Amino acid sequence: MSTPTIRVKELREIIEQHNYNYYSLDAPSISDGEYDILFKELEVLEAEHPELITPDSPTQRVGSEPQTGFGTIQHRLPMLSLGNAMNDDELIAFDERMKKGLGTDIDIVYISEPKIDGLGVELVYEHGTYISGSTRGDGFIGEDITQNLRTIRSLPIKLRGEVIPTLLEVRGEVFIKKDDFATLNKTQEREEKPVFANARNAAAGSLRQLDSRITASRPLSLYCYEAGKIEGVIFETHYKFLLGLKDFGLPVNPLIEKVNGGRKLIAYYQKLESIRSELPYDIDGTVFKINDYEQRDKLGTRSRSPRWAIAGKFKAQQTTTAIRDIIVQVGRTGALTPVAKLAPVLLSGVTVTNATLHNQDEIDRKDIRIGDTVLIERAGDVIPKVVQVILKKRPKDSIPYYIDAHCPACAHKSFKPDGEAVARCINISCPAQVKGRIHHFVSKLAMNIDGLGEKIVNQLVETGLLKTIDDIFVLKQQMLADLEGLGEKSAENLIQAIHESKQTTFARFVYALGIRNVGEHSAKLLEKHYKGSIKKFQQTTVEELETIDEIGPTIAQTVTQFWQDTNNRIMVQNCLNRGVSLAEIKRKMDQPLTGQIFVFTGSLEKFTRQEAKIMVEHLGGKTTDSVSKKTSYVVAGPGGGSKLKKAKELGSSIISENEFLEMLR
Relative orientation angle of helices 553-564 and 566-577, to the nearest 10 degrees: 80
Q: Does 311 bind ligand IVH (CB under 6 A)?
A: yes
DSSP code of residue 237: B
115 in contact with ligand IVH (CB under 6 A): yes
Choose the stretch contacting ligand IVH; rule: CB under 6 A; options: 76-84, 243-251, 380-388, 599-607: 76-84
Q: Residue 122 or residue 527: which is nearer to ligand IVH going by CB?
A: 122
Using the rule CB under 6 A, which residue among 95, 180, 226, 471 binds ligand IVH? Answer: 226
The piece of 79-87, 562-570, 632-640, 644-652 that touches ligand IVH (CB under 6 A) is 79-87
Under 8 Å CB-to-CB from 394, ≥6 apart: which residues?
Answer: 369, 371, 372, 373
- If one asks whether residue 173 binds ligand IVH (CB under 6 A), the answer comes out as yes
Pairing of strands 336-347, 317-330: antiparallel
Between helix 32-48 and helix 4-19 the angle, nearest 10°, is 150
- The answer to whether the CB of 386 falls within 8 A of the CB of 368 is yes
By CB under 6 A, name the one of 116, 216, 430, 449 that touches ligand IVH: 116
When asked if residue 201 is in the footprint of ligand IVH (CB under 6 A), the reply is no
Chain residues 497-516 in contact with ligand IVH, contact rule CB under 6 A: none
Which of 9, 115, 315, 536 is catalytic? The answer is 115
Q: Site mask, ligand IVH, residues 270-309, x = CB under 6 A?
A: -----------------x------------------x--x
Residues 444-483 that bind ligand IVH (CB under 6 A): none
Q: Which is nearer to ligand IVH, 12 or 115 (CB)?
A: 115
Contact pick of 17, 54, 64, 81 for ligand IVH (by CB under 6 A) = 81
How many residues bind ligand IVH, per CB under 6 A? Answer: 15
Return the half-sphere exposure (C-beta side, CA atoms, 13 A cut-off) of residue 615. Answer: 18
Q: Are 30 and 22 in contact (CB under 8 A)?
A: no
Check binding of 122 to ligand IVH (CB under 6 A). Answer: no
Active site residue 186: no
**Binding residue for ligand IVH, selected from 11, 82, 352, 575, defined by CB under 6 A:** 82
Window 129-148: residues binding ligand IVH (CB under 6 A): 136
Query: For ligand IVH, which stretch binds (CB under 6 A), given 109-117, 177-185, 395-403, 410-418?
Result: 109-117
Among the listed residues 281, 155, 173, the one whose alpha carbon sits nearest the alpha carbon of residue 224:
173
CA gap 363, 595 in Å, rounded: 55
Looking at 15, 80, 85, 457, which residue binds ligand IVH (CB under 6 A)?
Answer: 80
77, 144, 216, 248, 299 from 168: Cα distances, Å: 12, 17, 24, 10, 24
Contact (CB, 8 A) for 79 and 246: no
Task: Give the 3-state secondary structure percentages of the chain, helix then strand then coil, rounded to 5.
Answer: 40, 20, 40
Task: Verify binding: residue 225, ligand IVH, rule CB under 6 A.
Answer: yes
Cα dist. 276→83, 101, 286, 323, 380 in Å?
A: 21, 32, 11, 28, 12
CA–CA distance, 635 with 658 (Å, rounded to integer): 9
Q: Answer yes or no whether residue 75 interacts with ligand IVH by CB under 6 A.
A: no
The interface region with ligand IVH, picked from 80-88, 159-167, 477-485, 547-555 by CB under 6 A, is 80-88
Q: Do 182 and 133 meet the contact criterion of CB atoms below 8 Å apart?
A: no
Provide the minimum distance between the beta carbon of 287 and ligand IVH in the complex, in angstroms, as a whole number.
4
Q: Contact residues for ligand IVH (CB under 6 A)?
A: 80-82, 113, 115-116, 120, 136, 173, 225-226, 287, 306, 309, 311
Task: Give the residue numbers annotated as catalytic, written as ranges.
Answer: 115
